[in-house]
Structure 1
Amino acid sequence: MTAGGFVKRVASERAGAWEAAGLSWLRVPGGAPVVGVESVSPDQLVLQRLSPISPSVAQVESFGRQLAATHATGASGFGVGPDGWTRDGLQGPADDLIPLPLGPYDSWGAMYADLRVEPLARQAGLLGAAEGLLGRLRGGEFDETVAAPARLHGDLWAGNVVWTAAGGVLIDPAAHGGHPESDLGALTLFGAPHLERLLASYIEVAGVADGWRERLPLMQLHLVLLHAVLFGGGYVGQAASILRRYA
């Protein structure tokens, strides 16, 4: 530990720079709080030290409204990374990172098909099962559910929100422009404290397109496929089930 900060070891200079860029991009006025970056070096990040607590309902509701503000800040396109980031990003656990393809798209469906579903489905041995969904995505079937690219955390499972006395704080992003329901899907994938209150407070501010709950498995597919690639096991079957559902 240095200067009271938390030292996070990173696999490469690129990994540390990617995480720092995402945290900076997500730090917007009125948005969800983001862990502070004290320094970046080739093998480590020094981050603001956080003191976790069990959140109150009021804190969770406040976070839902703040997340809506983060999303509303937007991005220049679907699939783009943080401002100034020109390479692909990274995704997965710190000790087993794989590329997160990035690139500007006007269509969420085409981006999700090209940069999220197809590459991971291929690596997981599920490309054949993905063909039906890929066609639907590239045909624009789901595009009417999103008006503009949201500024996403990109890996918003419950472990990447640290609850403190000041509220929920975002850590460890895979930040990019995408469908706001993707972050909501990640929150519901493994559960979160007072989840329904969090979702309700988000929706009060941002709204959601009709049928959003039925789309949650679609929005979770990216992370489920990522887990299938990295960990195998039951995640492969879970990903295959989602792919069949949307074939």
Structure 2
Amino acid sequence: MDLAYLRAHPQHLPTFLTHQRIRETPVSGGVCTARRLTLDDGTSIFAKSWPSGPAPDGMFTSEAAGLGWLLAAGAVDVPEVFTALEDLLALEWITPGSPSRSAAADFGRGLARTHRSGAPAFGASWPGWIGPLPLDNTPSAGPWGSWFATRRLLPYLRLSVDRGALSADDATVVEEILKTIDAYGGSEPPARVHGDLWPGNLLWGADGRCRLVDPAAHGGHRETDLATLALFGGAPFLDVILAAYREEWPLADGWEARVPLHQLHLLLVHTAAFGGSYRGAVMAAADRVLRS
């Protein structure tokens, strides 16, 4: 199998893998099993599958749809999708490189243009996934505040409590934010967002370009993407990304005070998916929101 054959017959990739006709090298892949595949013509591709049993329904096709939708804005780079099957996703292999100020500035401008290309509604027309958890993408006209509270915060708050990562008292604190979410302002029409834009989902290539990977793409609030870029140590050259973004599309007044509100979504996903080690981050963000 070479790249031309793969593009023409993407459904045949699992057969070649089953019969060990393609060289495989394990690589890091987060919650999935990831491999670097080397084709007969020397081309490398990145493939991932679920580590045990069938993949959750729609996970890989949803990711592929999100990558295509982000690319359609014509402003940010994403890996090319070669194969998107229920149990296998194969993408263009990007040789890793080092972040740079120029790549960060280009990315910031591209992200602003991507957001500005908009979305028909909050949510999306495909089922959503974020990490190992489903994401309710049922399209909604908004307003943003109530949609964010009911579709992006409450489900993961409940799951975090059910799984013992947060206590009932913790939930009461977060629920105060849900009750008064409209008071924090910042409502905007739906933007075309990545949806899971923590720094690990920026792929800095050896060609000097930054690409978006692992999206949970949907129509959402652009400030959510920017807020999550600051999580877990922050993206490299975050100040450059934000400055370039704001030159391309200025942010609404008060955006800095809303950062912890937007971060709550991904932090609650982490308590729901990975447990109580993220409780402190959730409660610190909630405290900052309530004091804002």
Establish whether TM, by shorter chain, passes 0.5.
yes
Partner Cα separation in structure 2 for residue 12 and residue 117 of structure 1: 21
2:134 corresponds to: 99
Partner Cα separation in structure 2 for residue 70 and residue 117 of structure 1: 24
**Total equivalences in the alignment:** 235
Q: Matched residues, percent identical?
A: 41
The correspondence for 2:86, drawn from 42, 50, 66, is 42
C-alpha change, 1:34 and 1:130, in structure 2 (3 Å) is same
Q: Contact conserved, 2:260 with 2:286, CA < 8 A, in 1?
A: no
Partner Cα separation in structure 2 for residue 13 and residue 135 of structure 1: 33
Q: Contact conserved, 1:218 with 1:242, CA < 8 A, in 2?
A: yes
Counterpart AA for 1:242: A
Partner Cα separation in structure 2 for residue 34 and residue 119 of structure 1: 29
Q: Contact conserved, 1:60 with 1:197, CA < 8 A, in 2?
A: yes
How does the TM-score come out when normalised to structure 2? 0.76
Partner Cα separation in structure 2 for residue 241 and residue 133 of structure 1: 13
Deviations 1:155-201 (A, max 9, x none): 11111111111511111000111110100011111211111011100
Q: Contact conserved, 1:6 with 1:49, CA < 8 A, in 2?
A: yes
1:89 corresponds to: 128
- Counterpart check, 1:77 vs 2:121: yes
> The residue matched to 1:124 in structure 2 has which SS?
helix
How does the TM-score come out when normalised to structure 1? 0.89
The correspondence for 1:133, drawn from 167, 172, 177, is 177
2:241 corresponds to: 198
The correspondence for 1:181, drawn from 223, 235, 257, is 223
- Counterpart check, 1:148 vs 2:183: no
The correspondence for 1:26, drawn from 70, 84, 106, is 70
Partner Cα separation in structure 2 for residue 65 and residue 146 of structure 1: 22
2:267 corresponds to: 224
Q: Contact conserved, 1:132 with 1:246, CA < 8 A, in 2?
A: no
- Counterpart check, 1:115 vs 2:151: yes
Report deviation, 1:55.
Answer: 2.2
Q: Contact conserved, 2:197 with 2:215, CA < 8 A, in 1?
A: yes
Deviations 1:1-56 (A, max 9, x none): 15431111142451111111111111134411111100122321110000111122
Partner Cα separation in structure 2 for residue 40 and residue 2 of structure 1: 18
Partner Cα separation in structure 2 for residue 117 and residue 211 of structure 1: 21
Q: Contact conserved, 2:144 with 2:188, CA < 8 A, in 1?
A: no
Partner Cα separation in structure 2 for residue 56 and residue 50 of structure 1: 16
1:239 corresponds to: 282
Name the structure, 1 or 2, with higher relative contact order (CA <8 Å, separation 6+): 1
Partner Cα separation in structure 2 for residue 161 and residue 230 of structure 1: 21
Alpha-carbon RMSD: 1.6
Partner Cα separation in structure 2 for residue 19 and residue 44 of structure 1: 11
1:8 corresponds to: 48
Counterpart AA for 1:63: F
Q: Contact conserved, 1:221 with 1:242, CA < 8 A, in 2?
A: yes
Partner Cα separation in structure 2 for residue 171 and residue 218 of structure 1: 24
Partner Cα separation in structure 1 for residue 188 and residue 141 of structure 2: 13
Partner Cα separation in structure 1 for residue 204 and residue 72 of structure 2: 18
Partner Cα separation in structure 1 for residue 83 and residue 57 of structure 2: 12
C-alpha change, 1:13 and 1:228, in structure 2 (3 Å) is closer
